[in-house]
């Protein structure tokens, strides 16, 4: 800590103490100030108070997603002052929160709604830290970029209010990205008198100058605008997942990069990384020159954004066409896919210490980069998160083997895989890697390949090809009982491939919401149309490139396979699967329900 740092910290503490009415604080030095605060009120310990433990858990999660300044990890101290609700960010990167604030935010509320309020308060303070604007008052030295241009008090006040509004906006976003139901801030829905912005504002006293804060109405309006932006951007995430599953990662990456500007959450970074992985694998041909003897490595997309539950039931009052594109689409330098994959996946993993997909994907990315040690470490982390998951245990055995210098397959890999694959219901990736390990060890692998080919497990196309080659059978899937349907068995609002202008777009899509995305990498104009929560269309240069249906009316997964037989190809996503019934259409299945159906035409 530099001298300047110390001085700033001391100033903040002194102002804080003066604000709190602690006489004699002016003459105290830094150590005395902390001691005084601790002596007068005390810091509450998580092991002595479950409420404080809860607040600290929320803090950890919000801190993980917040922008950070420098390398220092912010810490939170809960000050045992139950009468006054307040929160402060200190220049040394630590936060102070009063017990009164915890009271106010959680009283008479469900745990969920209370946590969302705590997350918002802490997110607001972390935003001040990230922006280098600590709790401040006149006379407090501000960083050059934030100094008001003129010294007029009105201007200084306006600058302050602007920073408060910005901290609100970021705090709201951090809380949402960390997975808290921020929509409950607008109304508790439990008979508590009003929404949180008004409640917090009413009680904002103590050392903070209420005049520098936006009115509760302004705060609520700004938060609603943030929700509207999320709502507007949500289809970007969904179309990116869909495009990736039809092999259009180039376009998917562009949509994800746009969505990142709206909702920079772990699942967005994860899917971005997974897309770069797919591109890298395409570019490398067979992974690391191993051809048909390549193991089945995890690449998991996440089918659900954390923004989705926030927006369930959200009614935006924005209507009509947004002619302005959301933001320019960014291009990535070519040939850097693996680097970009690792970068995105590390970001995703860092934002949530319990997030499995990013760790699985990171292991694959490090392996493809030729870094078996890091690949193994990422998989060890994944396995710690789900100790009973056999699929992940199988990959752990594989990555440990790949990291073992010159050890034979027989010793390090075959034994654990045989044990894991032995029991019924083994996942396809495990059976596949077991069969391959048998073959590499020079053992008879035919029974293992036949078990895979029997169709009990659904295989992604490249692995199905290897299986078929091993047992010297045609790779064609047995035709499904009813033959292949060219489109899904539900009515589509518009035919894929349709020319929207020829069809008089305005008439056909009357009442649909429009989001203009601007130009894609090959200069096509991308537009998303959506009708309520049920149907979404991605149009490129005026042609319908993808139609997506959503909702419970799509029925159960069992009903669909009962009608159409097994799908041609199945791919795992976090908490679900994507089943392809034809090269042109697929469904997203979760918890036994068909959640979405996707139909494409002429994808780039
Ligand atoms: Zn503030």
| Å from CA of 124 to ligand 1 middle | 6
| Å from CA of 154 to ligand 1 middle | 18
| Å from CA of 183 to ligand 1 middle | 20
Pairwise CA distance, residues 494 & 512, whole Å? 12
| Å from CA of 93 to ligand 1 middle | 14
- The pLDDT value recorded for residue 296 is 92
| Å from CA of 125 to ligand 1 middle | 6
| Å from CA of 65 to ligand 1 middle | 18
- Neighbouring residues of 352: CB distance < 8 A, sequence distance ≥ 6: 61, 64, 65, 179, 266, 358
| Å from CA of 123 to ligand 1 middle | 10
| Å from CA of 167 to ligand 1 middle | 6
| Å from CA of 349 to ligand 1 middle | 29
- The pLDDT value recorded for residue 139 is 25
Q: Are residues 509 and 431 in the same domain?
A: no
| Å from CA of 313 to ligand 1 middle | 29
Q: Are residues 114 and 260 in the same domain?
A: no
| Å from CA of 197 to ligand 1 middle | 13
Pairwise CA distance, residues 203 & 492, whole Å? 53
Ramachandran region, residue 213 (left: φ > 0; alpha: ψ -120 to 50; beta: rest): beta
| Å from CA of 350 to ligand 1 middle | 26
Pairwise CA distance, residues 344 & 487, whole Å? 35
| Å from CA of 2 to ligand 1 middle | 25
- Structure-block tokens of residue 48: 């002595």
Q: How many domains does the chain have?
A: 3
| Å from CA of 353 to ligand 1 middle | 28
| Å from CA of 86 to ligand 1 middle | 10
> Is the residue at 520 inside a domain?
yes
| Å from CA of 206 to ligand 1 middle | 13
| Å from CA of 122 to ligand 1 middle | 10
Q: Are residues 206 and 273 in the same domain?
A: no
- Structure-block tokens of residue 470: 């091993």
| Å from CA of 475 to ligand 1 middle | 62
- The pLDDT value recorded for residue 243 is 94
> Is the residue at 238 inside a domain?
no
> Is the residue at 428 inside a domain?
yes
CB 564 within 8 A of CB 545: no
| Å from CA of 335 to ligand 1 middle | 43
Domain of residue 288, CATH code: 1.25.40.10
| Å from CA of 130 to ligand 1 middle | 12
Residues of the chain where predicted confidence (pLDDT) is lower than 50: 1-7, 21-30, 136-152, 192-193, 205-209, 287-289, 319-321, 479-482
| Å from CA of 43 to ligand 1 middle | 21
Last residue of a domain, one of 470, 486, 517: 470
Q: Are residues 399 and 545 in the same domain?
A: no
Q: Quote the domain boundaries for residue 590.
A: 505-600
Q: Are residues 459 and 515 in the same domain?
A: no
Q: Are residues 256 and 378 in the same domain?
A: yes
Q: Are residues 26 and 162 in the same domain?
A: yes
φ, ψ at 148 (rounded to 5°):
-60, 145
| Å from CA of 147 to ligand 1 middle | 16
| Å from CA of 110 to ligand 1 middle | 25
| Å from CA of 119 to ligand 1 middle | 14
Pairwise CA distance, residues 180 & 268, whole Å? 17
Pairwise CA distance, residues 443 & 434, whole Å? 11
> How many residues in total does the chain contain?
604
| Global pTM value | 0.84
Last residue of a domain, one of 194, 214, 234: 214
CB 296 within 8 A of CB 432: yes
| Å from CA of 76 to ligand 1 middle | 16
| Å from CA of 208 to ligand 1 middle | 9
| Å from CA of 385 to ligand 1 middle | 36
Report how far Cα 52 is from the mean position of its chain's Cα atoms.
27
Last residue of a domain, one of 470, 490, 523: 470
| Å from CA of 91 to ligand 1 middle | 13
The CB-side HSE value for 126 (13 A sphere, CA atoms) comes to 29
| Å from CA of 213 to ligand 1 middle | 7
> Is the residue at 494 inside a domain?
no
| Å from CA of 133 to ligand 1 middle | 9
| Å from CA of 126 to ligand 1 middle | 9
> Is the residue at 158 inside a domain?
yes
Cross-strand pairs, 582: 585
| Å from CA of 121 to ligand 1 middle | 9
Q: Are residues 350 and 432 in the same domain?
A: yes
> Is the residue at 205 inside a domain?
yes
Pairwise CA distance, residues 220 & 217, whole Å? 5
| Å from CA of 354 to ligand 1 middle | 30
> Is the residue at 441 inside a domain?
yes
CA angle, 231 then 237 then 242, to 5°: 130
| Å from CA of 89 to ligand 1 middle | 8
Ramachandran region, residue 593 (left: φ > 0; alpha: ψ -120 to 50; beta: rest): beta
| Å from CA of 160 to ligand 1 middle | 9
Indicate the SS3 state at residue 91.
Answer: coil
| Å from CA of 210 to ligand 1 middle | 10
| Å from CA of 309 to ligand 1 middle | 27
| Å from CA of 230 to ligand 1 middle | 23
| Å from CA of 96 to ligand 1 middle | 12
Q: Are residues 247 and 208 in the same domain?
A: no
| Å from CA of 161 to ligand 1 middle | 9
Q: Are residues 460 and 519 in the same domain?
A: no
Q: Are residues 76 and 28 in the same domain?
A: yes
| Å from CA of 135 to ligand 1 middle | 7
> Is the residue at 231 inside a domain?
no
Q: Are residues 567 and 447 in the same domain?
A: no
């Amino acid at each position: 800590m530099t001298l300047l740092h110390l001085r700033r910290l001391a100033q903040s503490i002194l102002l804080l103490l003066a604000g709190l009415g602690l006489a004699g604080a002016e003459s105290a030095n830094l150590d005395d100030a902390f001691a005084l605060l601790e002596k007068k009120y005390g810091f509450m310990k998580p092991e002595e108070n479950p409420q404080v433990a809860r607040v600290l858990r929320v803090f950890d999660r919000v801190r993980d997603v917040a922008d950070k300044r420098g390398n220092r990890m912010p810490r939170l101290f809960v000050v045992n002052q139950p009468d006054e609700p307040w929160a402060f960010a200190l220049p040394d990167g630590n936060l102070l929160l009063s017990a009164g604030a915890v009271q106010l935010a959680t009283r008479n509320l469900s745990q969920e709604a209370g946590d969302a309020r705590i997350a918002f308060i802490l997110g607001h303070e972390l935003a001040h830290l990230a922006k280098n604007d600590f709790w401040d008052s006149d006379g407090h030295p501000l960083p050059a970029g934030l100094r008001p241009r003129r010294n007029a008090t009105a201007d200084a006040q306006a600058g302050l209010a602007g920073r408060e509004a910005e901290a609100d906006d970021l705090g709201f976003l951090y809380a949402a990205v960390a997975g808290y139901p921020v929509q409950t801030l607008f109304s508790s829905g439990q008979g508590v008198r009003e929404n949180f912005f008004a409640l917090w504002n009413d009680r904002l006293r103590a050392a903070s100058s209420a005049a520098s804060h936006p009115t509760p109405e302004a705060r609520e309006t700004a938060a609603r605008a943030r929700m509207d932006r999320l709502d507007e951007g949500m289809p970007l995430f969904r179309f990116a997942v869909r495009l990736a599953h039809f092999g259009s990662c180039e376009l998917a990456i562009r949509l994800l990069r746009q969505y990142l500007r709206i909702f920079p959450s772990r699942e967005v970074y994860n899917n971005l990384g997974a897309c770069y992985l797919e591109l890298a694998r395409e570019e490398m041909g067979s992974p690391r020159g191993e051809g048909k003897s390549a193991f089945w490595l995890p690449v998991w997309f996440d089918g659900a954004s954390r923004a989705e539950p926030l927006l369930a039931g959200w009614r935006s009052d924005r209507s009509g066409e947004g002619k302005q594109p959301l933001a320019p689409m960014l291009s990535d330098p070519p040939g850097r896919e693996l680097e970009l994959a690792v970068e995105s996946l590390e970001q995703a993993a860092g934002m949530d210490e319990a997030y499995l997909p990013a760790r699985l994907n990171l292991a694959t990315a490090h392996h493809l980069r030729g870094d078996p040690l890091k690949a193994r470490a990422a998989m060890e982390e994944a396995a710690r998160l789900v100790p009973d998951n056999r699929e992940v245990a199988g990959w752990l055995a594989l990555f440990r083997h790949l990291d073992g210098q010159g050890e034979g397959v027989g010793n390090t890999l075959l034994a654990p895989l045989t044990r894991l694959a032995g029991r019924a219901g083994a996942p396809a990736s495990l059976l596949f890697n077991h069969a391959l390990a048998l073959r590499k060890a020079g053992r008879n692998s035919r029974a293992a390949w036949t078990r895979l080919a029997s169709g009990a497990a659904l295989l992604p196309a490249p692995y199905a090809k290897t299986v078929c080659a091993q047992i010297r059978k045609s790779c064609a899937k047995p035709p499904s009982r009813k033959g292949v349907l060219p489109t899904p068995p539900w009515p589509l609002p518009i035919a894929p491939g349709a020319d929207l202008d020829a069809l008089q777009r305005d008439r056909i899509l009357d009442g649909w919401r429009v989001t203009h995305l601007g130009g894609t990498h090959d200069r096509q104009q991308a537009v998303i149309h959506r009708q309520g929560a049920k149907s979404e269309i991605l149009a490129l240069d005026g042609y319908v490139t993808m139609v997506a249906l959503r909702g419970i009316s799509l029925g159960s997964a069992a009903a669909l396979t009962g009608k159409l037989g097994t799908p041609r190809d199945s791919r795992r996503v976090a908490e679900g699967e994507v089943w392809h019934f034809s090269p042109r259409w697929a469904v997203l299945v979760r918890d036994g329900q068909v959640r979405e159906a996707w139909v494409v035409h002429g994808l780039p």
